Amino acid sequence: MYEHDVIVVGAGGAGLRAAIAAQEEGADVAIVSKLHPVRSHTGAAEGGINAALREGDSWEDHAYDTMKGSDYLGDAPAIETLAQTSPEEVIQLEHWGMAFSREEDGRVSQRPFGGLSFPRTTYAGAETGHQLLHTMYEQLVKRGIEVYDEWHVLDLAVSDEDAPEDRTCHGVVGYDIQSGNVEGFRARDGVILATGGLGQVYDHTTNAVSNTGDGVAMAYRAGAPIEDMEFIQFHPTTLPSTGVLISEGVRGEGGILYNAEGERFMFEYGYASNDGELASRDVVSRAELNEVNAGRGIEDEYVHLDMRHLGEERIIDRLENILHLAEDFEGVDALEEPMPVKPGQHYAMGGIETDENGETCISGLYAAGECACASVHGSNRLGGNALPELIVFGARAGYHAAGRDLGEAEITTGKRGEWEAGDVETPVDPGAVEPDVEADASGDAVADGSGLDPAGFVERATERATERIESLLTNEDGRNHAEIRADVQQSMTDNVNVFREEDALKQALRDIREAREAYQDVGVADQSRTFNTDLLQTIETRNIIDLAEAITLGALVREEFRGAHWRKEYQERDDENWLKHTLLSWNDGSPELWFKPVILEGEEKRYEPKIRSY
Ligand SMILES: Cc1cc2nc3c(=O)[nH]c(=O)nc-3n(C[C@H](O)[C@H](O)[C@H](O)COP(=O)(O)OP(=O)(O)OC[C@H]3O[C@@H](n4cnc5c(N)ncnc54)[C@H](O)[C@@H]3O)c2cc1C
């Protein structure tokens, strides 16, 4: 068993920042990651990082734009923490040597982004995430922080008191991808989950194949609530054949969207009469699909994004990467022709419920980055607000886990007596197919943890994970994960997409149930111990199934239209009944649903919900 003060799971922007912070605080910290740090998906981020750095801008404006973008479902303490702290975190990156794009006078450049009232998005060409990841990786190496890379974390080692709020996380179990060994990692002070997005729940996504929502699924099954899972961001400019992202930076620099008639539809049809292409992402994605549905799409599928008028010099200077993506993935020379684009899954606004210090309701368990929900983004994230979230909340989680006093959090976590219970009518039972067997992945119903010391919990979790791997490998002729995964992804894309309606959501739940049943007999044909991707993808597929179900349950229960969540039957935002977060926790093998109110009280003012127009 390995042992450290703080274990960070994941080496993307959030994980690296968390590890650096914990080390600064004096902790013996290690990162465990299924990918090498610089292969993490943060490296794909193109457009930029929002921070109120310039004269004329302010953290208050950043906070207001974020709250408005969230459609008033973000929590003010988290949003204000983000807006107040992102300038110092960006300056810190600059001091660590991040190669930001600059103006003639040497100042860091900032560009407009959707939903922002000021051009506040700092960037490094169209490779901001790549630069950010490499800058922080340098710090990691300089500080000698230990990284267990190519270790796939399978589970959390959590004690098994009845209420999740009474449990403690003592570590994790990892599978060494190179050797096939399973080992425990004991965390003396805390585990920080920074496992990124869950885009692989859908079949058309900007996310990498590694983004299977592992951390969210692990925390969920260990009893930590997951919050606002129904809010999935569909980015309006992805390449139709692959889902590869064309950055919002293109529209930020002045790129224009046209329909098949050559009309600038954002203005022509009044989707966003003031901001046009720079309305927030949910608005632009719906507009594009409306155009396609009205017969004004190209090949009945997509619209055009044109940047030719920006001129070669500016494009090469600020968006060169986009030229390569359009050429390599769509065969389009974007200097000469417009690019085909359509909405694709991009980001999960929801995730593991945390407070503004990154803590979950399970003692010693933290989450930061895209896998967490503090909640900054509410029902719709503004472009350029995820990267600051990684560094602001990654750092806070790292400091806090290592013992720094950050003051008492205003956001509460866990189930409290006063929270409203939720109920949703489903066509099939959600949750495990055999609850007694699958009651929880980190502590099954029959096990008794009394008398175990912290290392004992890690050993117990390691034994269970080893048994599970053996049983998957023994069932050589079982069902292949790929078919099951593809069915779920297709159903989610067909039924739980930009436009949602009750019948389709119920169909998705039926499909997910079928996938769960098929998964009962899943097996792994590849028996090798080294780089067994068949085995790992089989394990990830279960996470995909659990999260697909959580997203769909949230989408079915939320009977209103807010931010990225459009419902055919409910065409209005309903502040009277729905100014609340959706929480789900895996209880005895089935999801339990409840709601908690949104916090709109900021430090100095209340963010009064208004009609959101751009
Ligand atoms: C194409 C694209 C462009 C984007 N552009 C922008 C932008 O310009 N601005 C912006 O603000 N946001 C942008 N976003 C969003 C933002 O980049 C992501 O939300 C963010 O980078 C996620 O960072 P993270 O640290 O949470 O996760 P990631 O960077 O995805 O890292 C996750 C880490 O967890 C590890 N991991 C996962 N599961 C396991 C496991 N089971 N065991 C061990 N390790 C595990 C992985 O190895 C990886 O190291 C973009 C997103 C995409 C997809």
- Render pLDDT for 400-414 as a digit per residue (tens, 0 to 9): 999 999 999 999 999
For ligand 1, whether the C-beta of 153 sits within 6 Å is yes
The span from the CA of 565 to the CA of 348, in Å, is 12
Question: Which residue is closest in CA terms to ligand 1's atom 41?
Answer: 153
Closest atom of ligand 1 to 369 CA is 26
For ligand 1, whether the C-beta of 66 sits within 6 Å is no
For ligand 1, whether the C-beta of 214 sits within 6 Å is yes
Residue 15: burial class (beta carbons within 10 Å; 0-12, 13-18, 19+) = buried
Residue 387 CA to ligand 1 centre (angstroms): 9
For ligand 1, whether the C-beta of 249 sits within 6 Å is no
The type of residue at 85 is T
Question: Which residue is closest in CA terms to ligand 1's atom 16?
Answer: 386
- Of 516, 537, 518, which is closest to residue 210 (Cα–Cα)? 537
pLDDT of 441: 43
The span from the CA of 112 to the CA of 133, in Å, is 23
pLDDT digits 0-9 by tens, 260-306 = 999 999 999 999 999 999 998 899 999 999 999 999 999 999 999 99
CA angle, 501 then 506 then 512, to 5°: 130
> Residue 443 pLDDT more than 50?
no
Task: Retrieve residue 402's tokens.
Answer: 């290592």
Band the pLDDT of 448: cuts 50, 70, 90: low
Q: Which of 251, 296, 481, 542 is catalytic?
A: 251
For ligand 1, whether the C-beta of 21 sits within 6 Å is no
**Counting every residue, how long is the chain?**
614
The type of residue at 358 is G
219-245 as b/e: b if 16+ CB within 10 A = bbbbbbbbbbbbbbbbbbbbbbeebbb
Question: Which residue is closest in CA terms to ligand 1's atom 8?
Answer: 47
Contact between residue 221 and residue 157 where contact means Cβ atoms under 8 Å apart? no
Closest atom of ligand 1 to 212 CA is 38
> Residue 545 pLDDT more than 80?
yes
> Residue 330 pLDDT more than 80?
yes
Sign of the dihedral through C-alpha 602, 385, 553, 566: positive
Band the pLDDT of 478: cuts 50, 70, 90: very high
Verify cis geometry, omega within 30 degrees of 0, for the bond prior to 375: yes
Q: What CA–CA distances, in Å, run from 336 to 156, 161, 323?
A: 52, 63, 10
Pocket test for ligand 1, best of 245, 251, 387 (most atoms within 8 A of CB): 387
Tell me what the mean pLDDT of segment 480-501 comes to.
97
Residue 136 CA to ligand 1 centre (angstroms): 14
Task: Retrieve residue 385's tokens.
Answer: 């607000």
Pocket test for ligand 1, best of 7, 34, 41, 127 (most atoms within 8 A of CB): 41
pLDDT of 580: 98
pLDDT digits 0-9 by tens, 29-71 = 999 999 999 999 999 998 899 999 999 999 999 999 999 999 9
Tell me what the mean pLDDT of segment 318-347 comes to.
96
pLDDT of 47: 87
Mean pLDDT of the chain: 95
> Residue 446 pLDDT more than 50?
no
Residue 498 CA to ligand 1 centre (angstroms): 22
Residue 286 CA to ligand 1 centre (angstroms): 25
Residue 146 neighbours by CB distance under 10 Å:
14
Task: Retrieve residue 440's tokens.
Answer: 């929880």
Sign of the dihedral through C-alpha 123, 205, 375, 608: positive
Helix axes 386-401, 13-24, angle to 10 degrees: 30
Residue 553 CA to ligand 1 centre (angstroms): 24
The span from the CA of 64 to the CA of 85, in Å, is 15
Whether 400 is catalytic is no
CA angle, 187 then 188 then 193, to 5°: 35
Band the pLDDT of 436: cuts 50, 70, 90: very low
The span from the CA of 495 to the CA of 238, in Å, is 19
Closest atom of ligand 1 to 16 CA is 25
Whether 235 is catalytic is yes
pLDDT digits 0-9 by tens, 171-226 = 999 999 999 999 999 999 999 999 999 999 999 999 999 999 999 999 999 999 99
Say whether 73 sits in a helix, a strand or coil.
coil
Query: Which structural domains are found in the chain, ordered by start?
Result: 239-343 (3.90.700.10), 454-597 (1.20.58.100)
Residue 486 neighbours by CB distance under 10 Å:
14
Pocket test for ligand 1, best of 8, 17, 40 (most atoms within 8 A of CB): 40
pLDDT of 495: 98
> Residue 444 pLDDT more than 60?
no
- Of 407, 455, 440, 246, which is closest to residue 332 (Cα–Cα)? 246
Residue reference for tokens 């309305």 = 279
